[in-house]
Amino acid sequence: MSENTTSFEDRAAILSELWMDYRASDGFKQFIAYNDIGLPLAYCITYGIATPTDIGNKFIDEAFDLLLATLEVEDDSFETLDDILSLSEGNDIV
């Protein structure tokens, strides 16, 4: 990963928070439906319910990359979901 890339742990925590806080949001409905494996897996890994595996990590990385693309935000070593959402203000999804 490059210097300005969000760590795997932060990616999982961000996706976990998104899944818990926005799963009923109309704006994220399609995103959450598409990432029906990656988001709950991120939650499970973040809270120690599951152990990361190579294939599981791919689901989480894909979901995170899709989140950034959906919100039209470049990866910049994010630590929280709020960091991402603050850059996407004005986006119709949020």
The alpha-carbon radius of gyration of the chain (Å, integer) is 12
Of the candidates 62, 74, 69, 75, the one whose C-alpha atom is nearest the C-alpha of residue 93 is 69
Domain ranges within the chain, ordered by starting residue: 8-87
Query: Cα dist. 55→20, 50, 61 in Å?
Result: 22, 13, 10
Q: In the prediction, which pLDDT does 94 show?
A: 58
Of the candidates 86, 57, 69, 78, the one whose C-alpha atom is nearest the C-alpha of residue 30 is 69
Tokens 């599981």 map to which residue? 56
**Per-residue pLDDT of the chain in tens (94 residues, 90 and over written 9):** 556 799 999 999 999 999 999 999 999 999 999 999 999 999 999 999 999 999 999 999 999 999 999 999 999 999 999 999 998 876 666 5
